[in-house]
Amino acid sequence: MVHCAVDMKNVQYRYPDGHIAIDEINFEVGLHERAVILGANGAGKSTLLSIICGILEATKGTIKILNEELTAKNVHEFRARIGLVFQEPDNQLFMPTLWEDIAFGPLNMGLTDKEVNQRVDEALKVVGLSHLKEKPPHHLSVGEKKRAAIATVLAMRPEILVFDEPTAHMDPRTRNEFVKFLSKLHSEGNLTIITATHDVNIVPLIADRAYVLYEGKFIEAGSVAEIFSNAKMLEKAHLTPPILTQLFLNTIKHVPQMVHEPLPMTLAEASSLFQKYCKIPT
Ligand SMILES: Nc1ncnc2c1ncn2[C@@H]1O[C@H](COP(=O)(O)OP(=O)(O)OP(=O)(O)O)[C@@H](O)[C@H]1O
Ligand SMILES: [Mg+2]
């Protein structure tokens, strides 16, 4: 029986030029959990995700995916079970048309034409790009490419979904839709979702647990509320808490009764707190 989606022990990755990009990583993600890796530019997020997905081979430590040790021999078997949406969509799109790009994975899985068609249509619909299916991917806008890259992975129906900076280049509406879509995907399916980002404002909406990466090492792990309450640690990692958290922390300096309230994670939670303590008329 599978208990852990990802189980990394003392993992290190040293690039060929000698740079150790991640080190002493212990990372356990339970099945159906939503984990987020927070870290500034260069912290090692993309390197870590590439190791989890078997694109880079760790130079130290052990990695289990869905309870099986990841080795050079079995890495290909995991390709359909763990899907990485790359930070740069150009690394994921290489076929003459968008349709072919999304069909590429399912075709390689040996599915029938009918199943491939179904999967491609569904993935295109989910990301709202059905109308662009005949276009060459290099003619898409950056935000559209990002959504297209997500579709190529969704069509594989992986058990673990891994996103590297998913909201980069997305406009506000697309970003909101993406966050909603991720929640829906998680609540409907048996998916484990790992996301690396420095877009702290989306974190409460897409994750249960957060890990802070700083210079290649995890310096903190905890619930999203625990992580965002620790302003000093975030500062060390060159991150700032979400704007809602900052507003709450500033307000409790003037409204000390609020100090016992849990950190608001959504706009709705923050609004009801401010109505309760600051007597904002409704
Ligand atoms: N091919 C490479 N060879 C040597 N060093 C590399 C290589 N790729 C990345 N690095 C270094 O490894 C470190 C981690 O890079 P990585 O891309 O994992 O960071 P990141 O957290 O994803 O950053 P960003 O937020 O900018 O995407 C950086 O210091 C980077 O310069
Ligand atoms: Mg990166």
Residues 165 and 51 in one domain: yes
Residues 216 and 249 in one domain: no
Handedness of CA 202, 242, 24, 46 (dihedral sign): positive
Residues 164 and 267 in one domain: no
Token output for 152: 């190529």
Give the residue numbers spanning the domain of 246.
Answer: 242-282
**Residue owning the nearest CA to atom 4 of ligand 1:** 15
Q: How far is CA 238 from CA 40, 203, 225, in A?
A: 6, 16, 18
Each of the 282 residues of the chain gets a pLDDT tens digit; together they read 668 999 999 999 999 999 999 999 999 999 999 999 999 999 999 999 999 999 999 999 999 999 999 988 888 888 779 999 998 999 999 999 999 999 999 999 889 999 999 999 999 998 889 999 999 999 999 889 988 999 999 999 999 999 999 988 888 888 888 888 888 888 887 799 999 998 898 999 999 999 999 999 999 999 999 999 898 999 999 999 888 888 888 888 888 888 888 888 888 888 888 888 877 665
**Residue owning the nearest CA to atom 31 of ligand 1:** 42
End-to-end C-alpha distance for the chain, whole angstroms:
51
Mutation test residue for ligand 1: of 12, 15, 20, the one with most atoms within 8 Å of CB: 15
Q: Say what the pTM is.
A: 0.91
Mutation test residue for ligand 1: of 13, 22, 25, 46, the one with most atoms within 8 Å of CB: 46
Residues 199 and 271 in one domain: no
Residues 248 and 222 in one domain: no
Ligand 1 lined by 17 (C-beta under 6 Å): yes
- The CATH number of the domain holding residue 41 is 3.40.50.300
160-164 and 82-85 as β-strands: parallel, antiparallel, unpaired? parallel
Å from CA of 267 to ligand 1 middle: 34
Ligand 1 lined by 166 (C-beta under 6 Å): no
The structural domain count of the chain equals: 2
